[in-house]
Amino acid sequence: MSSREQAIFRKYLERRGLKLTSERQALFDELFARHEHFEADELLVRLRTKHKKISRATIYRTLDLLVDSGIVGRVRIGESGYRYERLRAGEHHDHLICNECGRVIEFFEPAIESLQDEVCEKYGFLAISHSHQLRGICKRCRPRAARRQNEASHAEDAAEAAASRRRLRSVPSPR
Amino acid sequence: MSSREQAIFRKYLERRGLKLTSERQALFDELFARHEHFEADELLVRLRTKHKKISRATIYRTLDLLVDSGIVGRVRIGESGYRYERLRAGEHHDHLICNECGRVIEFFEPAIESLQDEVCEKYGFLAISHSHQLRGICKRCRPRAARRQNEASHAEDAAEAAASRRRLRSVPSPR
DNA sequence: ACCCCAGTTGAGACTGAGTCGCAATCGCAC
DNA sequence: GTGCGATTGCGACTCAGTCTCAACTGGGGT
C-alpha cells in the first residue's frame, strides 16, 4: 500500500544522505495505515502499544522530515499543539472543525482559493502557505448543542459566567 | 480615548458582578494606548517597565475577560502561543503574515466571507468563528528574500538540509 | 465613613507540548 | 565485515499558559 508516498519518502531521505531506519519506517507505516488527522502523542501511544519501542523525540524528529518532504502537513487545529495530516500530492483542502465533538471535516472551494490569490496580489504578498479553518458545530452535533442552549438560556449568573469564561477559550478568531 | 470600549468593558464586568480593579484598568489602558497586535508577555513587560506591578497570571486572566467581552480577539498566529488583537465592533478581518519580518497585515474580502457561508451550508455546519491566514513574504521583504534564495540555490547538501528542517517548522498548512 | 466578603491578586509550583545534548547504537557504502 | 556519520532513547530542559492559595481590595450595604 501507499507505495507512492513510500517512494517519495525514500527518495527524500536518500537525496540528503539520511537513513531509512526501522523507527522511521514504523512511523511511516502506522501513519499510512489509516489516519487522516492525528497528533504526535497519538502516534507514540499507538506505536508503543504495537510493541514498537520508540521515543517521543524520534516521533517529532521523523514528523519533521515527513512535513519537510511534503508527505504530511502540520496544522494548528484546536487549542494546543499541532495536528498532522496526510497530504495527497497536489491536493489541498481547508478545515471545518466541530467544537462539540472535535471532528475535522475537509473542504475545498476553488473560488476561495482564487480570491486569496487576488488578495495577495493586491498587497504585493507572496503566499507560501495558508490555513483556513471554520470552527462551529457540525451537522451531527447541532441538535445536541441546541438542547443544551435551551437549558442554560437564563443562567447569566456569576457562577455560570466563570465557567463560560473557560469554555470560550476555544474560539481563535471571532468574526 | 477609547471611551466606547471602556464603557463596554465596564458594563461587561458589572453585569457579572466583577470588579474593575486597578490592574484590569492598567492592562486595558496599555492595550488601547496603541497596540493592534500583541502577545501576553509583551504586555507584561510593558506594564512592568511602566512601574505597574502586575503578575503573569493576572495578564492572562484579564485577557480572558477582554476576549470574552468581545473587545479583544485571540488568534493563533505564528509558532507558539496566542496573539491578541483589538477588535473594532462589528468589524472582521483575516491575516497576511510575513515569515520574514513577522509583520501582520489585515485584510477583508467580503466575497470570501460569503463563500465560507456557502461551504457551511453545504455541510450543514454552524460556524461560530473562523481563522484564515496566509503566510508568505510581504512586499517589503520580497527583494531581500529573493537575494537570499540566489545565494543558497545550490546548497542542497546535508548540513544545509538539517538547518532547513528547523526553518520549515513555520508553515502551518501547505497548499 | 466603615464594614464586610466575594472577587481579585501575586508568587510560585505545576502541566503539557515540544526540544536538546549526548552517549550508545545502527544503516549502509565500501 | 568494517567504519563512521546518522540516528536513537533518555532525561533534563524550555516555554506558554494554568492552577492554588493565602493575603488583599473594591464597592454595595449600613
Q: Rounded to an integer, what distance in angstroms lies between the CA atom of residue A71 and that of residue A147?
A: 41
Close Cβ partners of A57 (under 8 Å, ≥ 6 residues apart): none
pLDDT score of A30: 92
Instruction: Please state which of the ranges A26-35, B13-22, B33-42, B149-158 shows the lowest mean pLDDT.
Output: B149-158
Contacts of A135 in chain B (CB under 8 A): 127-131
Is the Cβ–Cβ distance between B171 and B137 less than 8 Å?
no
Is pLDDT of A55 > 90?
yes
Phi and psi (nearest 5°) for B90?
A: 80, -15
CB B175 to CB A112 under 8 A? no
Is pLDDT of A113 > 60?
yes
Q: Rounded to an integer, what distance in angstroms lies between the CA atom of residue B87 and that of residue A32?
A: 42
Work out the minimum CA distance from A90 to partner chain B, whole angstroms. 8
Identify the band that residue A89 occupies on the pLDDT scale cut at 50, 70 and 90: confident
Is the Cβ–Cβ distance between A83 and A98 less than 8 Å?
no
Work out the minimum CA distance from B33 to partner chain A, whole angstroms. 22
Closest C-alpha to A138, from A174, A99, A166: A99
pLDDT tens, residue by residue, A140-161 = 988 887 776 665 544 444 444 4
pLDDT score of B163: 41
B87-107 CB burial, b ≥16 within 10 A, e <16: beeeebbbbbbbbeeeebbeb
Work out the minimum CA distance from A56 to partner chain B, whole angstroms. 17
Residue keyed to cell 497548499: B175
Percent of the residues in chain B that have a pLDDT greater than 90, as a whole number: 49
Q: What is the mean pLDDT of chain B?
A: 82
Residue keyed to cell 495577495: A120
Q: Which range has highest mean pLDDT (A78-82, A120-124, B3-7)?
A: A120-124
Instruction: Please state which of the ranges A77-86, A153-162, B32-41 shows the lowest mean pLDDT.
Output: A153-162
Instruction: Please state which of the ranges A71-85, B48-62, B147-161 shows the lowest mean pLDDT.
Output: B147-161
> Which nucleotides in chain C have some atom under 7 angstroms from a protein Cβ?
6-12, 16-21, 26-28
Strand D: protein residues, Cβ closer than 7 A:
A 13, 17-19, 21, 23-24, 53-58, 61-62, 166, 169; B 19-22, 39-41, 56-57, 60, 64, 80-82, 158
> Residue type at A88?
R
Closest C-alpha to A52, from A23, A20, A28, A32: A23
CB A133 to CB B132 under 8 A? yes
**Interface contacts A/B by beta carbons within 8 Å:** 200
Q: Which range has highest mean pLDDT (A74-83, B52-61, B101-110)?
A: B52-61
Is pLDDT of A61 > 90?
yes
Is pLDDT of B88 > 60?
yes
